[in-house]
Amino acid sequence: MNSPLSGITVLGLEQAIAAPLCTRHLADLGARVIKIEQPGFGDATRHYDRAVRGLGAHFVWLNHGKESAALDLTDESDLDVFAGLLERADVVVSNLGPGALGRLGLAPETLLERYPRLIVVDISGYGRGGPLDHKRAYDLLVQAEAGSCAITGRPGEPAKPGIPIADVGTALYAYSSVLAALYDRERTGRGTVIPIAMLDVVAEMMGFALNQVIHTGTEPEPVGMGSPMIAPYGSYPTADAQTAVLGTTSDREWRRLTVDLLDRPDLAQDPKYAHNHDRVAHRAELDEILGAWCAQHPLAEIQRRADDAGIGNARLNGVRGLAEHPQLAARGRWREVDSPAGPIPALLPPALARDWTAVDGRVPALGADTDAVRAEVGRSRVGDHPWKS
């Protein structure tokens, strides 16, 4: 096996999505990830539902490839076990509530002072300082604060995107930052503290909308299945009761759509549609034209003709359509991982070099590895933790 993070040990003081998805991707690439869970209850996502043969759908998605150590870090004995793990660790990733690490005596700066080669990722909702640094933050709450719900849905009907973009985006920034920090440690010999605020992540993703507001004073209007910045670009019912998704992202594509797909050169020559900002101003009438054309043709014909014309297109699928998607199956994107309920399907990590091997780790039962971890590190320093002066 060629797993690039083999030999790296990661401790996850984690819950929900952001930190667990980060550490699961590290586990995919060979890191040893020890998930620290509260005895008796564990990560709350274990209990969201029983969709996966009695296991939680979120937990199965986020935690295969990890060990689970049930440790109560308010207990001196368990805190001592964690101290032993810190001596062996390369990375700590935490998304506990505001101030939780400090109350445990595990503030990121303290950890780095005691373990200079340690990389500490401190995920929070709103960052340190400012009027919101004390607040708990969940995906919906951060998206609401950051404006992403206001540009999703329809005018007067804001909506949270179905994918938890604040959590997932934060996970991916944390994951990439860990990889950069490991590389930097190879050069300098030093670890670091990486604070990541979910609000900052969504604010970055809102960049185009922020620019529009800052420079024009105009709030983007949500347009449902489309983009407030581009037209025509959306979903259109077809003659066979399917839904085609297509449109244009440049003036050149607009000319191809009108001439080669719709057979409407008059639209290409109309100056009121010449540039994207013109077409955005006439979105409703362009949607009506494209919608009427799609309604006269079956989906397969629309997609074939759009492909021939060089126009991007897709079918609107449900989640079952994704689960059964022929593109995923044909490219071997599925694997099996072990779990307390037996082997279950899981996707391969999206980013995998051709000569890397993804680790097909198990989904751990709560505390499945606690005894092994205790035996590994011992309990020799009870009451005398190395981060305490």
pLDDT tens digit string along 339-351? 999 999 999 999 9
pLDDT at 387 over 90: no
The one-letter amino acid at 133: D
Q: How far apart are CA 170 and CA 192, in angstroms?
A: 18
Q: How far apart are CA 20 and CA 65, in angstroms?
A: 11
Q: How far apart are CA 297 and CA 237, in angstroms?
A: 9
Least confident interval from 11-15, 177-181, 380-384: 380-384
What dotted CATH number matches 226-315? Answer: 3.30.1540.10
Closest by alpha carbon to 66, among 271, 301, 360? 360
User: What is the pLDDT, as a whole number, of residue 355?
Assistant: 93
pLDDT at 385 over 80: no
| Residue 7 φ/ψ region, left for φ over 0, alpha for ψ in the -120 to 50 degree band, beta for the rest | left
Closest by alpha carbon to 38, among 65, 62, 63, 14? 14
User: What is the pLDDT, as a whole number, of residue 380?
Assistant: 44
Confidence of residue 383 (pLDDT cuts 50, 70, 90): very low
H or E element that contains 46: none
Residue 86 token pair: 């810190």
Q: What is the pLDDT of residues 168-217, one digit of tens each?
A: 999 999 999 999 999 999 999 999 999 999 999 999 999 999 999 999 99
The domain ranges of the chain are 9-205+329-377, 226-315
Confidence of residue 379 (pLDDT cuts 50, 70, 90): low
Q: How far apart are CA 158 and CA 181, in angstroms?
A: 38
Percent of the chain with pLDDT over 90: 93
pLDDT at 381 over 90: no
User: What is the pLDDT, as a whole number, of residue 149?
Assistant: 96
pLDDT at 89 over 50: yes
Q: Does domain 9-205+329-377 have CATH number 3.10.180.10?
A: no
Q: What is the pLDDT of residues 285-323, one digit of tens each?
A: 999 999 999 999 999 999 999 999 999 999 999 999 999
Are the CB atoms for 308 and 256 separated by under 8 Å? no
Confidence of residue 1 (pLDDT cuts 50, 70, 90): confident
For 114, phi then psi, to 5°, come to -80, -30
Q: What is the pLDDT of residues 23-36, one digit of tens each?
A: 999 999 999 999 99
Confidence of residue 378 (pLDDT cuts 50, 70, 90): confident
Would you say the CATH fold of 226-315 matches that of 9-205+329-377?
no
Residue 291 token pair: 């919608």
Write down the H helix ranges in 133-282: 139-146, 165-188, 198-205, 207-216, 251-256, 265-269, 276-281
The one-letter amino acid at 281: A
Report pTM.
0.93
DSSP state of 234: E
The three-state (H, E, C) secondary structure of 330-360, written as one string: HCCCEEEECCCCCCEEEECCCCCCCCCCCCC
Q: How far apart are CA 163 and CA 167, in angstroms?
A: 9
Residue 169 token pair: 């985006």
The three-state (H, E, C) secondary structure of 60-108, written as one string: HHHHCCEEEEECCCCCHHHHHHHHHHHHHCCEEEECCCCCHHHHCCCCH
- C-alpha angle 212/218/219, rounded to 5°? 85
Q: What is the pLDDT of residues 47-81, one digit of tens each?
A: 999 999 999 999 999 999 999 999 999 999 999 99
DSSP state of 272: G
Q: How far apart are CA 152 and CA 138, in angstroms?
A: 18
Q: How far apart are CA 73 and CA 79, in angstroms?
A: 5
313 beta partners: 246
Are the CB atoms for 233 and 249 separated by under 8 Å? yes
For 158, phi then psi, to 5°, come to -65, 155
Closest by alpha carbon to 123, among 33, 19, 25? 19
Confidence of residue 363 (pLDDT cuts 50, 70, 90): very high
State the average pLDDT for the chain: 95
pLDDT at 109 over 70: yes
